[in-house]
C-alpha cells in the first residue's frame, strides 16, 4: 500500500513538473535563439538554470532536518509555479535589447527546482523496500524519460501551433497540478539535528562523499561525464542540427526525443534484468561508459539526420544502463538520514560543472564549430571510462555487500 500510494504520488507529481520543465525550456531557448542567433546566448539558458540549481544545492542542506522533506519538495514546486506566472506576463515586454530579463526569471525558477531532484531520490528509499530499489529506480527513470521523450518529440512542434507565451500559460497549469499532487505525499521520519549541527549540515554531504570510497569515485566520474553531457543540451543540439546536419528544426525535437527514448529502453532493461545487473554492475557500467565514448565520437563525424537519430538513441541507452545501477549504489552506500545531504552535494557538483561546461561548449561551438564540442565530449567520456575500468571491482563489491548477493 505504501508503494502504491506514496511512490505513485511522488512519481506523478515529479512527472508533471518535468512535462512543464521541458515545455518552458523549449520555448525559452527558441525565443533567445530567434532574438540573438547565437549559440552562446542560447547556452546561457542552461548555464543560468544550472548555476541557480548549484546555489540551491549548496543551501538546501541547511533546511534538511528543519523542514519536512515532503513539504520541502511540494513548496519548491509551488514557488516555481508562482515565478512562472511572472515569466508569462513578462514575455510581452521582451525584445532583443532586454532579453536578459528572461535569464533572471528562469534563474529564480531553477533556484527552487534545485532541491527537487535530490529530495525525490532521497524519498524513494523511504517509500520503497530496499530489495525493490533497482525496480523503483528503473520505473522512476522509465516514466520520467518517457514523458521527456514525448515532450521533446513534440515540444518544438508546439512552437508552430502556439506562441511561447501561450506555452508558458499551459506550463503554469501543469505546475499547479504537480504542486497539488505533491502536497498529498505522506510525511517521512527524518533525523532532526541540534542547532550546532544544523550549521554544519552544509558540510556533511561533502564529508560523506570524501569518506566513502565508492561515492568519491562516483563523484569524480560524474565530473567528467557531466562535462561530456553538456553537448546534449537543447541549445547545442539546435546548432548541430542547423550547422552540421543542415536539417529542418523539427529534427531538433526528434534527436532530443530519440535520446530520451534510449533512456527509456535502458530503464526497461534495468527493470527486467535487475538481478543480472546487481551481480555484474561494474562490468555493465564499464561497457556502457566505453560504448558512450565511441558513439559520441561517431556522432560528431556524422552528417545524416537519420543516423544522428540512431546514435542519439544509443547514447541515451548506455547512459541509462550506467545511471540506474549507479543510483542504487548511492542509495545503499549510506544511511537514509545521510542520503539527502549526499544527493545535494552530488547535485552541487553536477549543476556547477554543467553550468560552466554548457557555457564553455557554447563558446567553443561559436569559435571552432559545432563538431569540435562533440569530439571534446568524447574525450571526456574516454577519461571517465578509464576511471571506471580502474575501479570496476569497487562497484561490484559495494553492491554485493549492500544487497547481499
Computed over every residue of the chain, the mean pLDDT equals 81
Is the pLDDT assigned to residue 190 strictly greater than 90?
no
Q: How many domains does the chain have?
A: 1
Q: Whole-angstrom Cα distance, residue 3 to residue 126?
A: 10
> pLDDT digits over 66-78, tens only?
677 888 889 889 9
CATH of residue 261's domain is 1.20.1250.20
Q: Whole-angstrom Cα distance, residue 377 to residue 113?
A: 26
> The whole model's pTM is what?
0.67
Cβ neighbour number for residue 215 with a 10 Å cutoff: 21
> pLDDT band for position 195 (50/70/90)?
very low
pLDDT at 196: 46
> pLDDT digits over 115-129, tens only?
777 788 778 878 877
Domain range for residue 112?
Answer: 2-403
- Do 217 and 341 meet the contact criterion of CB atoms below 8 Å apart? no
- Residue whose C-alpha is closest to residue 134's, from 15, 268, 260, 261: 268
> pLDDT digits over 310-348, tens only?
999 999 899 888 887 887 778 777 777 777 778 778 877
> pLDDT digits over 232-273, tens only?
877 788 888 888 898 887 787 788 778 878 888 888 888 888
In the block, cell 569540435 appears at 372
In the chain, pLDDT over 90 holds for what percent of residues?
19
Is the pLDDT assigned to residue 147 strictly greater than 60?
yes
Least confident of 89-103, 273-287, 389-403: 389-403
More confident site: 383 or 393: 383
Amino acid at each position: 500500500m505504501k508503494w502504491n500510494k506514496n511512490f505513485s504520488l511522488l512519481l506523478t507529481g515529479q512527472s508533471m513538473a518535468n512535462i512543464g520543465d521541458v515545455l518552458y525550456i523549449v520555448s525559452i531557448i527558441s525565443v533567445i535563439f530567434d532574438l540573438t542567433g547565437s549559440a552562446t546566448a542560447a547556452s546561457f539558458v542552461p548555464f543560468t538554470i544550472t548555476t541557480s540549481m548549484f546555489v540551491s544545492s549548496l543551501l538546501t542542506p541547511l533546511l534538511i532536518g528543519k523542514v519536512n522533506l515532503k513539504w520541502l519538495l511540494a513548496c519548491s514546486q509551488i514557488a516555481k509555479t508562482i515565478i512562472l506566472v511572472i515569466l508569462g506576463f513578462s514575455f510581452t515586454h521582451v525584445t532583443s535589447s532586454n532579453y536578459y530579463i528572461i535569464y533572471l526569471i528562469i534563474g529564480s525558477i531553477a533556484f527552487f527546482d534545485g532541491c527537487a531532484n535530490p529530495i525525490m531520490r532521497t524519498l524513494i528509499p523511504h517509500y520503497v523496500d530496499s530489495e525493490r530499489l533497482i525496480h523503483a529506480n528503473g520505473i522512476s527513470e522509465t516514466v520520467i524519460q518517457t514523458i521527456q521523450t514525448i515532450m521533446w518529440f513534440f515540444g518544438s512542434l508546439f512552437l508552430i501551433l502556439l506562441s511561447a507565451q501561450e506555452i508558458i500559460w499551459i506550463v503554469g497549469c501543469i505546475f499547479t497540478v504537480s504542486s497539488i499532487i505533491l502536497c498529498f505525499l505522506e510525511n517521512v521520519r527524518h533525523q532532526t539535528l541540534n542547532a550546532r549541527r544544523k550549521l554544519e549540515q552544509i558540510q556533511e554531504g561533502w564529508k560523506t562523499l570524501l569518506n566513502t570510497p565508492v561515492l568519491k569515485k562516483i563523484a569524480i566520474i560524474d565530473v567528467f561525464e557531466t562535462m561530456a553531457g553538456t553537448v546534449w543540451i537543447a541549445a547545442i543540439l539546435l546548432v548541430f542540427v542547423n550547422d552540421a546536419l543542415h536539417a529542418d528544426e523539427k529534427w531538433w525535437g526528434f534527436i532530443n526525443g530519440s535520446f530520451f527514448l534510449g533512456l527509456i529502453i535502458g530503464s526497461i532493461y534495468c527493470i527486467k534484468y535487475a538481478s543480472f545487473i546487481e551481480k555484474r554492475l561494474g562490468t555493465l557500467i564499464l561497457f556502457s561508459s566505453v560504448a558512450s565514448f565511441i558513439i559520441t565520437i561517431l556522432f560528431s563525424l556524422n552528417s545524416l539526420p537519420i543516423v544522428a537519430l540512431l546514435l542519439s538513441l544509443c547514447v541515451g541507452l548506455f547512459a541509462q544502463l550506467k545511471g540506474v545501477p549507479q543510483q542504487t549504489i548511492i542509495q545503499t552506500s549510506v544511511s537514509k538520514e545521510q542520503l539527502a545531504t549526499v544527493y545535494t552535494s552530488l547535485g552541487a557538483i553536477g549543476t556547477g560543472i554543467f553550468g560552466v561546461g554548457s557555457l564553455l561548449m557554447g563558446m567553443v561551438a561559436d569559435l571552432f564549430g559545432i563538431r569540435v564540442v562533440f569530439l571534446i565530449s568524447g574525450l571526456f567520456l574516454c577519461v571517465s571510462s578509464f576511471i571506471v575500468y580502474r575501479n570496476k571491482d569497487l562497484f561490484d563489491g559495494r553492491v554485493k555487500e549492500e544487497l547481499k548477493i
